[in-house]
């Protein structure tokens, strides 16, 4: 038997309507700012009633969390990248995941959310907190998990959490600042891939194991 929440989603229009609400909320947050975004405008853009909006997603804070959570789910370690067996497969995995992170986070919609968090830092600090707690944590946890495994198998030496921070710093350098300030364009796929390759090479030089791996 379906739960009350599941029945509510089915009656209100299902997953397609929920996705329209999230897309509309994302757009309204970017246009108006979190504090000024209204649920009526979100419902109107999504072509649903306010009743359906609350049944499918919830209040405005719930919409923000859902929008960011949906994107954050893409920042986990992809299932098609196997755990590393040696330094070669570690390098390959880091390059692929680095490229994946860069591609997802440099998406213009994601950059808009970062700009929103900065613009609303005083009026709506929940935006920044949600972005940090839900969004950035996903990528950091994925990297920390990878480096914990790599350390246990003797492929690297160091603190996994610190390694995750260092790899992220090498990967991004000043790219995010440039994108937020609109002083650089989003790099091409080839440029993002090369950035991931360079960051991986620099990282592995820093955290080489003491003995042969």
| Residue ranges of domains in the chain | 4-58, 71-206
pTM of the model: 0.80
Q: What pLDDT is recorded for position 5?
A: 44
What does the block give as tokens for 54?
């609350």
Neighbours of 11 (CB within 10 A): 11
Distance of CA 22 to the CA centre of its chain: 16
At 68-126, the pLDDT tens digits run 888 788 888 888 888 899 999 999 999 999 999 999 999 988 888 888 888 888 877 88
What does the block give as tokens for 43?
């419902």
The pLDDT of 182-200, averaged and rounded, is 97
Q: Is 176 in contact with 186 (CB distance < 8 Å)? A: no
At 24-56, the pLDDT tens digits run 998 898 888 888 899 999 999 999 999 999 999
| Span 4-58 CATH architecture | Orthogonal Bundle (1.10)
Over 60: is that where the pLDDT of 1 sits? no
Question: Across the chain, which distance is largest between two alpha carbons, in Å?
Answer: 64
Whole-angstrom Cα distance, residue 128 to residue 40?
Answer: 23
Compute the CA torsion angle 176, 182, 187, 192 (nearest 10 deg).
Answer: 0
Helix (H, G, I), strand (E, B) or coil at 17: helix
Over 60: is that where the pLDDT of 7 sits? no
**4-58 matches 71-206 in fold:** no
Q: Is 81 in contact with 96 (CB distance < 8 Å)? A: yes
CATH number of 71-206: 1.10.357.10
């Amino acid at each position: 038997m379906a739960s009350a929440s599941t029945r509510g989603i089915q009656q209100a229009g299902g997953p397609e309507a929920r996705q329209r609400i999230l897309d509309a909320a994302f757009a309204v947050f970017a246009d108006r700012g979190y504090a000024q975004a209204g649920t009526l405008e979100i419902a109107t853009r999504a072509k649903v009633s306010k009743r359906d909006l609350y049944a499918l997603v919830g209040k405005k804070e719930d919409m923000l969390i859902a929008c960011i959570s949906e994107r954050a789910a893409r920042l986990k370690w992809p299932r098609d990248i196997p755990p590393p067996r040696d330094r070669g497969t570690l390098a390959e995995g880091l390059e692929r995941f680095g490229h994946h992170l860069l591609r997802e986070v440099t998406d213009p919609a994601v950059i808009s959310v970062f700009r929103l968090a900065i613009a609303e830092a005083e009026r709506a600090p929940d935006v920044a907190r949600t972005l940090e707690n839900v969004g950035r944590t996903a990528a950091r946890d994925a990297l920390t998990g990878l480096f914990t495994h790599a350390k246990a198998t003797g492929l690297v030496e160091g603190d996994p959490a610190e390694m995750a921070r260092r790899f992220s710093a090498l990967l991004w350098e000043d790219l995010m600042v440039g994108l937020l300030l609109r002083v650089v364009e989003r790099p091409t796929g080839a440029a993002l891939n090369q950035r991931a390759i360079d960051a991986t090479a620099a990282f592995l030089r820093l955290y080489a194991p003491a003995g042969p791996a």
